[in-house]
Amino acid sequence: MKESIINKDKLDVLKELANIGVGNALTSLSQMLNEEKVEMDVPVATLAPLQDVPDLLGGEELPVAGIYIESHGDINLTILFVLSLESAANLVSVLVPGSQGEFNEMGLSALVEVGNILTASYLNALSFMTDLKLLPSPPVIAVDMSAAIISTVMAEAHIVDDEVVLLKTFLKSKQSHISGHILILPDVGALDSIFTLLGAR
């Protein structure tokens, strides 16, 4: 039996960090949606086999828009905001007045901007709590099959251990029919830093 890279107490700590950070991000999203209420599920922190990660968002061939941000600085985090195509179109039509929610240059850059704002507010909260310096890279977007997007992000971020620690939050706005997942993948070094900082064993 191989040793797991993380235990339950540590997962709970991560979950709490996701909770606070994503809560902050949600407020930003709500502001972008003209103060519409955005709900979220309690974030889930899990240790998943690498092979199962591409299927964790409900369907490997599901067409989605994925907005991908890497954060460097004191620790490395990979953040992926995943929306079903329908949700992404709805979001575009709220953000770009007069549009039909199409994924042209304007629509895509509106989505990228949402990724930017969500990530910035998430990282601000995390940085405030931990005193870690977090420097997000500019977001990039792809519209494709869910599994292709997730596996590409893992390869890009070098998240290739047999087990992957991930924080997953589902969020939803009822009125404008937008729902999506925020996935946060800390790298192994990031976990060590966070736990040392917070004194978790």
Partner 1 sequence: MHTIKVKIADLAVLRSEGLLITIGLGSCVGIALYDAESKVGGLAHILLHRSSQFGNRTNTFNPAKFADTAIPVLIKKMEKIGGRRKRFMAKIAGGSQLFNFRKSTGISIGEKNIEVVRQTLHELKIPLRGEDVGGNFGRTMRFFVDSGKVLITTMGRGDREL
Min dist CB 89 to partner 1, Å, is 14
Helix (H), strand (E), coil (C) string for 55-113: HCCCCCCCEEEEEEEEEEECCCEEEEEEEEHHHHHHHHHHHCCCCCCCCCHHHHHHHHH
For position 158 contacting partner 1 by CB under 8 A, the verdict is yes
Query: Can residue 97 be called a binding residue for partner 1 (CB under 8 A)?
Result: no
User: What span, in angstroms and rounded, lies between the C-alpha atoms of 85 and 66?
Assistant: 10
**One residue of 129, 140, 197, 198 binding partner 1 per CB under 8 A:** 140
Of the pair 86, 144, the CB lying nearest partner 1 is at 144
Of the ranges 10-18, 32-40, 58-66, 122-130, which one interacts with partner 1 (CB under 8 A)? 58-66
Residue 3 or 35 having the CB closest to partner 1:
3
End-to-end Cα distance, the chain = 21
Q: Decide if residue 63 touches partner 1 (CB under 8 A).
A: yes
- Chain residues binding partner 1 by CB under 8 A are 2-3, 5, 50-55, 60-61, 63, 68, 137-138, 140-142, 144-152, 154-156, 158, 160-163, 188
